[in-house]
């Protein structure tokens, strides 16, 4: 019993320590009003490569990189669980970091209007990481048309608390002026501006889009 109490105390201290370095809000992860072309998220249309265009700094978790890509691949058509290869690259050091993980986008709009995918980029090495930095996240899709860009709220839930970030993924390394305007308008509705984000430099990392 004493060991269990000590373990619980250790976890509380660890979680409190992690909270002091991150942006937490009270309660569970909140639903978003997903604006997508279909009544239910079409997971197959998410497949292919996406580039990180905008990301809130805390989501980088103190890592240094200039750009990142998300390659989503289904094994079978209509699978709601699929593999994602996440590639971070820093052209200044010519260093690339690859991670492979599963995303689970089982339909949720039967209950709410939130299209959500769950993922865990890193496998916890110990109990501290499983309750803090390596805890699973939810990608709550605010908007996507599948072929140009995707805006999502990323949330880590700790029961009494949750930690939120935002990310914008684009199909093009440099989105068009038209799409940039749309992205700005949708982020403004959530009280966000360009100052809240780090901008990905995909063009610098991987060159021009082939149709540019």
Q: For residue 190, what is the domain's CATH number? A: 2.40.128.20
- Rg of the chain (C-alpha set): 18
Nearest to 119 by CA among 97, 143, 141: 141
User: Residue 91: beta bridge partners?
Assistant: none
Q: Tell whether 47 is covered by a domain.
A: yes
The tens digit of pLDDT for each residue in 46-70 reads 999 999 999 998 888 778 888 999 9
Q: Tell whether 94 is covered by a domain.
A: yes
Q: How does DSSP classify residue 177?
A: H
Rounded Cα gap, residues 2 and 10, in angstroms: 12
The tens digit of pLDDT for each residue in 144-194 reads 999 999 999 999 888 788 889 999 999 999 999 999 999 999 999 999 998
Rounded Cα gap, residues 95 and 76, in angstroms: 32
What is the number of H-type helices and E-type strands within the chain? Answer: 4, 10
pLDDT at 23: 65
Beta-sheet strands, E only, within the chain? 24-26, 48-55, 67-73, 81-90, 95-104, 115-119, 137-144, 149-157, 161-170, 198-199
Q: Tell whether 210 is covered by a domain.
A: no
| Total domain count, the chain | 1
CB 32 within 8 A of CB 140: yes
Average pLDDT over every residue of 27-56: 92
The tens digit of pLDDT for each residue in 94-137 reads 888 999 999 999 877 777 788 999 998 888 788 877 777 678 89
Rounded Cα gap, residues 146 and 50, in angstroms: 10
Q: Tell whether 212 is covered by a domain.
A: no
pLDDT at 210: 66
Q: Tell whether 211 is covered by a domain.
A: no
Q: Tell whether 156 is covered by a domain.
A: yes
Containing domain of residue 192, as a range? 2-205
pLDDT at 5: 45
Q: Tell whether 148 is covered by a domain.
A: yes
SS3 sequence, 109-139? CCCCCCEEEEECCCCCCCHHHHHCCCCCEEE
């Amino acid at each position: 019993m004493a060991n269990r109490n000590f373990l619980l105390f250790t976890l509380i201290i660890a979680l409190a320590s992690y909270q002091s370095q991150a942006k937490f809000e009270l309660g569970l992860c909140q639903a978003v009003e997903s604006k997508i072309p279909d009544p239910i998220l079409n997971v197959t249309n998410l497949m292919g490569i996406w580039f990180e265009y905008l990301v809130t700094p805390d989501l980088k978790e103190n890592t240094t990189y200039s750009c990142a890509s998300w390659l989503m691949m289904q094994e079978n058509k209509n699978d709601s669980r699929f593999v994602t290869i996440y590639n971070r690259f820093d052209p200044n050091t010519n260093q690339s970091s690859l991670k492979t993980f599963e995303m689970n986008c089982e339909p949720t709009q039967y209950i709410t209007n939130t299209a959500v995918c769950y993922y865990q980029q890193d496998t916890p090495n110990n109990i501290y990481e499983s309750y803090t930095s390596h805890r699973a996240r939810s990608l709550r899709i605010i908007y996507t048309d599948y072929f140009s860009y995707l805006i999502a709220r990323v949330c880590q839930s700790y029961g009494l608390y949750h930690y939120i970030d935002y990310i914008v993924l684009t199909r093009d390394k440099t989105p068009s002026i038209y799409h940039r305007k749309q992205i700005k308008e949708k982020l403004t509705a959530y009280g966000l501006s360009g100052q809240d984000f780090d901008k990905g430099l995909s063009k610098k990392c991987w060159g021009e889009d082939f149709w540019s």
